[in-house]
Copies of this chain bind each other. A is one copy, B any other.
Amino acid sequence: MQGDIKMVKRYRFGSPIETEAVLHKPDITERECEWLKKSEDGFFCRLPQETIVYGLGESIRGINKRGWLYRSFCSDEPEHREDKQSLYGAHNFLLLSGDVYRKEDTEDALPEQKNIGFFFDTPGEIVFDIGYTKRDRMEITFSDFDLELYVMEGESPDEVVSAFRELIGRSYIPPKWAFGYGQSRWSYETADDVRKVAEEHKRLKLPLDSVYLDIAYMERYKDFTIDEKNFGDFDSLVKEMKENRIHLVPIIDAGVKIEEGYDVYEEGKEKGYFCKDENGEDFTVGVWPGKCHFPDMLNEEARHWFGDKYHLLTDRGIDGFWNDMNEPAIFYSEKHLKKVFDRIDELKKENLDVDTYFEMTGLVAGSSNNLEDHKSFYHQYSEMPGEDRIRHDKVHNLYGYYMTRAAAEAFEELVPEKRILLFSRASYIGMHRYGGIWQGDNMSWWSHLLLNIKMMPSLNMCGFLYTGADLGGFGADVTEDLLIRFLSFGIFTPLMRNHSALGTRRQELYLFEKKEEILGVLKMRYRLLPYLYSEFMKAALRGTMMFRPLGFVYREDRIARQTEDQLLLGEELMLAPVHEQNQGGRPVYLPERMKFLRFRKGELLEEEVLERGYTFVEMPLGDICIFLREGHKLPLAESASHRNFENTEDVDYDNLVFCEFGDEIPDYEYYSDDGETKEYSLEKNIRML
């Protein structure tokens, strides 16, 4: 896959702040970039009509990012609507595929067929206007026009991605058990709630590898504490779960509660490890625990101190974490809220008319996550030793990345031999080396199942391989059919977790009626594990993508290039999930002859060779439909009827069966390792099967 990389060029603009996103830096090119014209505060270029703009990782909208304005600024955004501009990640990578003009081209020049990647490496805000203001123009503007720009060309989109991934280093690799099914809820309120999940899964023979602990497990939402009242027997809970081969995965939030006697707070305060306001006082915000300080994750010493705290949980047998609220999310700052209250007092005295009414509702609604707050606190950034302090908004996009790095670096010290599950909500490219991400607080919307599908390749390009959406949807109420369709795609994503929010309909699998269908879907996950793990590891170790848009492979096929609700998985498979309600099947576009495989209840039920073109495929709820490319084979764990999967440990990675399509099928490169240690060698761990 590592193709003939023509070149990677590195340009510098202004005085960039180091992000440590890029590990392997070429020398800075003195010449100007051929493809982008400079404006006062950024770049612009022409966008010929058929050129696809891939990239931007975790973003709303399509695989082709054309036709919208995206703002790279990690955001606590619970409504992933089409008109939003930012989600939790800042993934400043674009890949133009198709006709491109050189910047000095005259209006009548002919464009060239190109695949060009751009990485805009800067920790501040960027606005990507990709054909929003004008359909055939891209404009990229920076709040601070200080950045390193990396430009890479390739013969194919895959080549560009490989070149980029080489720059930014190897993606995070989780333990193998983290590929099992995980059940989550905001929140399991007691240890018995957790036990109930494990028991119900066991009773119904629904496999389960992990249960997630959202904020309720903590004492008053204090990081690294356990609530004595409801989780008093935490150690026995961990032990019990371990006996059942179930991993508990607690959440860690960015904000540290201000509470006398709470050691993390007191130590951080004493050592000066919290972010400061303009007067040098610890900056105070309201988040889940109430009033909090933010550990200064950009300060190396503070970062090591915070990371080391994870030992309080690893020491108790915990081997997985999710880092949350680390954009960082701010419900309110003391300063801002005072302003809001004062203004409401004034308004109250007036004869409230409609303008003042909307002023009030606007003030209150705008009190969370506002830019004014982001401009009100400061970091001591270790990468800028000359600087006294740096204002948060200038390095905003690094916070979640450095929080997750804090944990990952600590694990290297605490448990160097062992892989720890770690993923984050906020991220920047570079963080992909330290942890995965989940796709944030989505909704139980059909359109978010589609968004989940479209995000996978975009994230893979940017190095985020261990990822998945909250299956079933986090906010809003799920329906059984939506949950099953979400699961039916989720069985292919490395992170396979069902998570839902306080106040919404519960979506634990055992609560639904059609248990046979759900069980059949889950069984397929476990049968697919040898293949999924193998594909994941090859993508991580080779710097390739696990999920690719059809246009990456069928580059001359106009229909394939614009098909966004089908994906390629590895070299072998095409997926075409149902993502609309009341659809018992869907039209599938076959860019080449493929073998259609239908699995029901974990067993192969039907196979049929389908010709190139559109075919309507019946896909009743519970069926898993896979399209196998010609000349390939799909390894599967032994049939579920022979073996009951309780969790990943029950999967036999050595005795595989194969679905095949073609006359002369080359061997499948099968990667397999112990899944726990860090002996990742491709040479040692690949077998040809």
Residues in chain A within 8 A of chain B (CB atoms): 50, 52, 61-62, 64, 66-69, 81-83, 131-132, 134-135, 286-291, 331-332, 337, 341, 344, 348, 352-354, 357-358, 360-361, 364-365, 367-368, 443-447, 475-477, 479-482, 513-514, 558-559, 562, 564, 580-585, 587, 589, 613-616
Within 8 Å CB of A559, what residues of B?
Answer: 585, 616
> When the two chains form the complex, which single residue of B61, B445, B582, B587 contacts A614, counting CB atoms closer than 8 Å?
B587
Within 8 Å CB of A615, what residues of B?
Answer: 614
Top 10 closest pairs, chain A to chain B, by CB: A614-B614, A83-B476, A290-B353, A364-B364, A82-B445, A64-B582, A67-B581, A67-B479, A341-B348, A587-B587
Instruction: Please measure, in the bound complex, the distance between the C-alpha atom of A83 and the C-alpha atom of B503, giving whole angstroms.
Output: 14
In the complex, which of the residues A290, A475, A582 has the most CB atoms of chain B within 10 Å of its own CB atom?
A582
Closest residue of chain B to A443, judged by CB?
B83
Closest residue of chain B to A50, judged by CB?
B584
Contact check, B354 vs A481: say whether CB atoms are below 8 A apart.
no
Closest residue of chain B to A291, judged by CB?
B353
Within 8 Å CB of A337, what residues of B?
Answer: 352, 357
Contact check, A66 vs B581: say whether CB atoms are below 8 A apart.
yes
Q: In the complex where A66-B582, A562-B583 touch, is A447 in contact with B444 (Cβ < 8 A)?
A: no
Contact check, A562 vs B581: say whether CB atoms are below 8 A apart.
no
Contact check, A287 vs B614: say whether CB atoms are below 8 A apart.
no
Within 8 Å CB of A68, what residues of B?
Answer: 479, 581
Closest residue of chain B to A68, judged by CB?
B479
Contact check, A581 vs B365: say whether CB atoms are below 8 A apart.
no
Contact check, A286 vs B446: say whether CB atoms are below 8 A apart.
no
Q: What are 5 A-B pairs at a CB distance below 8 A? A: A82-B476, A132-B479, A135-B513, A337-B357, A562-B582
Instruction: Please measure, in the bound complex, the distance between the C-alpha atom of A83 and the C-alpha atom of B80, giving whole angstroms.
Output: 13
Sample of 15 more A-B contacts, CB < 8 Å, known A82-B476, A562-B583 = A67-B582, A68-B479, A83-B444, A83-B475, A83-B477, A286-B352, A286-B354, A286-B357, A290-B353, A337-B352, A344-B344, A361-B364, A562-B582, A589-B616, A614-B614
Instruction: Please measure, in the bound complex, the distance between the C-alpha atom of A480 and the C-alpha atom of B368, giving whole angstroms.
Output: 32
> When the two chains form the complex, which single residue of B289, B481, B564 contacts A135, counting CB atoms closer than 8 Å?
B481
Within 8 Å CB of A476, what residues of B?
Answer: 81-83
Instruction: Please measure, in the bound complex, the distance between the C-alpha atom of A291 and the C-alpha atom of B480, giving whole angstroms.
Output: 45
Q: In the complex where A67-B481, A354-B331, A364-B361 touch, is A134 in contact with B513 (Cβ < 8 A)?
A: yes
Closest residue of chain B to A355, judged by CB?
B290
Within 8 Å CB of A614, what residues of B?
Answer: 587, 613-616
Closest residue of chain B to A504, judged by CB?
B83
Instruction: Please measure, in the bound complex, the distance between the C-alpha atom of A584 and the C-alpha atom of B583, giving whole angstroms.
Output: 24
In the complex, which of the residues A64, A477, A514, A587 has the most CB atoms of chain B within 10 Å of its own CB atom?
A587
Contact check, B582 vs A558: say whether CB atoms are below 8 A apart.
no
Closest residue of chain B to A364, judged by CB?
B364
Within 8 Å CB of A62, what residues of B?
Answer: 580-582
Instruction: Please measure, in the bound complex, the distance between the C-alpha atom of A519 and the C-alpha atom of B680, giving whole angstroms.
Output: 60
Instruction: Please measure, in the bound complex, the distance between the C-alpha atom of A380 and the C-alpha atom of B445, giving whole angstroms.
Output: 42
Within 8 Å CB of A443, what residues of B?
Answer: 81-83
Instruction: Please measure, in the bound complex, the distance between the C-alpha atom of A427 and the C-alpha atom of B132, giving whole angstroms.
Output: 36
Q: Shortest CB–CB separation between residue A443 and chain B, in angstroms?
A: 6
Within 8 Å CB of A64, what residues of B?
Answer: 581-582
Contact check, A354 vs B582: say whether CB atoms are below 8 A apart.
no
Q: In the complex where A344-B344, A447-B447 touch, is A587 in contact with B589 (Cβ < 8 A)?
A: yes
Q: In the complex where A288-B354, A616-B614 touch, is A83 in contact with B361 (Cβ < 8 A)?
A: no
Within 8 Å CB of A82, what residues of B?
Answer: 443, 445-447, 476
Contact check, A290 vs B354: say whether CB atoms are below 8 A apart.
yes
Q: In the complex where A286-B354, A344-B341 touch, is A83 in contact with B445 (Cβ < 8 A)?
A: yes
Within 8 Å CB of A480, what residues of B?
Answer: 135
Contact check, A360 vs B354: say whether CB atoms are below 8 A apart.
no
In the complex, which of the residues A287, A341, A357 has the most CB atoms of chain B within 10 Å of its own CB atom?
A357
Instruction: Please measure, in the bound complex, the distance between the C-alpha atom of A480 and the C-alpha atom of B135, giving whole angstroms.
Output: 7
